[in-house]
Structure 1
């Protein structure tokens, strides 16, 4: 059977390759190693252990670095330090001094202008806390130039408030010492064991258990950690990888064929552990299924074929479209990435284990699988094709989508939405003219297609009530 079943007439999507940052381990520079070796040279065992814990090092690090530094010192001479005399240095110092003088003069000018403005128009209106706070923040600089009395009069502030803030009353709160706290001698004994060469490489739980087996109890494990934290001696010392932080995708579509989303889902068959794979490319703005195919496997070659055919059918110009997907193997394959570069399509990927970064494809799959007549399993790929083909035909051309003003995806995708909205408005206006009392005097308006559709809208720009209608996921 052909592995490239016909792509149903819709529209396609693309994916691009993203090269994420690799997980890295902790690295130590030669200068840092020399610094630690030099610090450790004159420390006794207890202080040496404390230093190793603070820096997050094991004693084996120190032993290896001592040998490494000694070998380098024996092989390479110490380079000469210091910088060569610069004949232009006096002139540079003079220029820097003049620039600082100019900055101070400009600052004084700004302060003088602020005083004049304050005298003409009081900054603080009675009862406005924000203006009073701004005036109080400007008061110290202004009072240093013209005096406290004139500044307070110009800003409308009370001098008593200024003096109270300058000399706040000292707190008389007495800190209670916990009755179970270890005294200084006991803390010193615990820290001596924690920092000793015997236990410097062990965790407090291990030290606690060893001391108990020896018939000694100094304190609890939590107290050991508390003492180490107070001395900044608790940090990760294992060679663990630090995984990269993936950026949150923030994508915007203001018209069809600007942002596509695509994904692959499994459809059960009557044979156990055997599935049919449904590839779907969706236009995010119009919710129009621009391309789809069925196969018995996930394949980067099939994904490339789907994207290429759909892009050619939609005739999307270069550098206009963004193709969003999750981080599956076909989505991030080299084969598809090369195609996207050739077609001028930008790729976008969800964060790992973040299904909310690809909400439109996930929503479409739920709509598909929860349809009333959608089978629980299929007899094979031909049965699946016989079901999916009419389903997407109905979805694109007959299904009224609540996210796009109760329009069909085809109407929005092909630009018929403004005409349909105007016709609906005329029908509602006629209904209002016949029975205005039923609408409480307000002309009803049809639902509108959002002007902007986001995947993860920017958090810095909250949507106000006067902003255009938008939809976000």
Structure 2
């Protein structure tokens, strides 16, 4: 047990932990004879001042130097005694050399025999990843070759794995042991449980209800999970209640290859200074160019207003019949009969998102987020006039000045009105001129301007053929 220090006992927050390190045994500094001779030789030619500096650097006292001088002088004065034993044989090095050469010659002869055995192996058996016949021939030649050169070299020369050889020599016999759970009910007990579950008394009850009733009757057959397991084995577990089955809605798959082929529209609420009162912003967006082709502000959601917005926008854009698809979610104004009749008259095909699938209408949702996340966008509006004063300049900037990353950093108006090819060509000339001035900055590759996607999808088909020469596409 380690007692705390006085500061810790007095209330300090410092915690004392016992160290788990095992300290080594303490040793003294040792000096070899060579080191002693070195120091004595150095001290012999040094004046007193430099001698003291040398002793301090080496961590020595003058008594060390005095003692070592005496020890070195005594050792030098001693006469070495002659070594006892047999006199060295002058011819011994030559005998050792001859023995070594004889061993090298024996090893070389053995390697030569092994190399000849490997060369004599049938060439058709040398196959690292050959056919089954070639591998069979290699396995047939392996025993004789391994007896001469060893298993490792034989397998290497024939391109076989040693693991394959060992598996064939000692194949594993796999036995499947069916384990019976020790707590499993026997056949009679299972039949008794199924008899209760299928009896007229309990046929309409769930296993939890049956389990509780049997417990109240002082009877226990098995757990609730075991009841479900036995019913599942009989394929008797399924939904029996009369529940409403929702229809399966088709996944909308829409494609736009030019402006005014696919529009997306939606309604969003803008907060006002009056609680629970909103201004409703209706927006119609061209999916290919991201151009806001029409918008409307109102204090309510109305099918009549939606009809008026779509009709005026279609007339202003002069959209031909049977060309445009209008996509929206499943709100009441979007699915109203009033708007459906107008779309039939104008030759516009209607498309709807799946319920609770915001990803089916991504472009309108993205536009609303862009609108509401503008730094100077108000938290609430005083009314329609205030909202119109904010939304009008925003959509003007968005259509004609905002460089959109989804359309090659073009403005929506440039793409919508067909100016994108000219702007892309001008940008390419600018990049070529920059490359000609400083080609090393581009590592020898002429930079290319961002391209406008040739195809824009809402929910693209599951499998689009991939090709390196395919045009740029954008999917959501």
Q: TM-score, normalised by structure 1?
A: 0.65
Bigger relative contact order, structure 1 or 2 (CA pairs below 8 A, ≥6 apart): 1
- Residues 432 and 30 (structure 1 numbering): CA distance in 2 closer, same or farther, change over 3 Å? closer
For 1:280 and 1:215, how far apart are their aligned partners in 2?
69
Which one of the candidate residues 233, 238, 243 is aligned to 1:240?
A: 243
Whether the aligned pair in 1 keeps the contact of 2:303 and 2:336 (CA below 8 Å) is yes
Structure 2: runs of 5+ lacking an equivalent: 1-15
- Residues 411 and 128 (structure 1 numbering): CA distance in 2 closer, same or farther, change over 3 Å? farther
Whether the aligned pair in 2 keeps the contact of 1:254 and 1:452 (CA below 8 Å) is yes
- Residues 194 and 333 (structure 1 numbering): CA distance in 2 closer, same or farther, change over 3 Å? same
Q: State the Cα distance separating 1:135 from its structure 2 match.
A: 23
- Residues 56 and 433 (structure 1 numbering): CA distance in 2 closer, same or farther, change over 3 Å? closer
The worse-fitting range, judged by mean Cα deviation, of 21-30 and 196-205 is 21-30
The superposition leaves residues 279-336 of structure 1 with CA deviations (integer Å, 9 ceiling, x where unpaired) of 0000000000000000000000000000000000011111111111001000010100
The worse-fitting range, judged by mean Cα deviation, of 148-157 and 198-207 is 148-157
- Residues 218 and 392 (structure 1 numbering): CA distance in 2 closer, same or farther, change over 3 Å? same
- Residues 336 and 98 (structure 1 numbering): CA distance in 2 closer, same or farther, change over 3 Å? farther
Q: State the Cα distance separating 1:461 from its structure 2 match.
A: 1.6
The worse-fitting range, judged by mean Cα deviation, of 347-356 and 91-100 is 91-100
For 2:317 and 2:113, how far apart are their aligned partners in 1?
59
The superposition leaves residues 447-468 of structure 1 with CA deviations (integer Å, 9 ceiling, x where unpaired) of 0100000011111225444321
For 1:232 and 1:41, how far apart are their aligned partners in 2?
105
Matched, 1:18 2:21: yes
Whether the aligned pair in 1 keeps the contact of 2:40 and 2:65 (CA below 8 Å) is yes
- Residues 74 and 230 (structure 1 numbering): CA distance in 2 closer, same or farther, change over 3 Å? farther
Q: State the Cα distance separating 1:168 from its structure 2 match.
A: 15
The superposition leaves residues 245-295 of structure 1 with CA deviations (integer Å, 9 ceiling, x where unpaired) of 111111110000000000000000011100000000000000000000000
Asked which structure has the greater CA Rg, the reply is 2
For 2:460 and 2:333, how far apart are their aligned partners in 1?
27
Q: State the Cα distance separating 1:162 from its structure 2 match.
A: 21
For 1:460 and 1:20, how far apart are their aligned partners in 2?
69
- Residues 15 and 56 (structure 1 numbering): CA distance in 2 closer, same or farther, change over 3 Å? closer
The superposition leaves residues 93-143 of structure 1 with CA deviations (integer Å, 9 ceiling, x where unpaired) of 999999999999999999999999999999999779999999999999999
Q: How many residues align?
A: 461
Q: State the Cα distance separating 1:362 from its structure 2 match.
A: 0.3
The superposition leaves residues 168-189 of structure 1 with CA deviations (integer Å, 9 ceiling, x where unpaired) of 9997312100111101111011
Structure 1: runs of 5+ lacking an equivalent: 1-12
Whether the aligned pair in 1 keeps the contact of 2:121 and 2:141 (CA below 8 Å) is no
When the two chains are superposed, the root-mean-square deviation of aligned CA atoms in Å is 38.0
Q: TM-score, normalised by structure 2?
A: 0.65
Whether the aligned pair in 2 keeps the contact of 1:279 and 1:292 (CA below 8 Å) is yes
Q: 1:412 matched to which residue of 2?
A: 415
- Residues 452 and 191 (structure 1 numbering): CA distance in 2 closer, same or farther, change over 3 Å? same
SS of the residue 2:382 aligns to? coil
For 1:216 and 1:244, how far apart are their aligned partners in 2?
45
The superposition leaves residues 411-442 of structure 1 with CA deviations (integer Å, 9 ceiling, x where unpaired) of 00000000000000001101111111111111
Whether the aligned pair in 1 keeps the contact of 2:207 and 2:228 (CA below 8 Å) is yes
1:150-161 to structure 2, matched below 5 A, reads none
Whether the aligned pair in 2 keeps the contact of 1:53 and 1:235 (CA below 8 Å) is no
For 1:50 and 1:183, how far apart are their aligned partners in 2?
95
Whether the aligned pair in 1 keeps the contact of 2:259 and 2:416 (CA below 8 Å) is yes
Matched, 1:396 2:399: yes
- Residues 45 and 436 (structure 1 numbering): CA distance in 2 closer, same or farther, change over 3 Å? closer
- Residues 85 and 434 (structure 1 numbering): CA distance in 2 closer, same or farther, change over 3 Å? closer
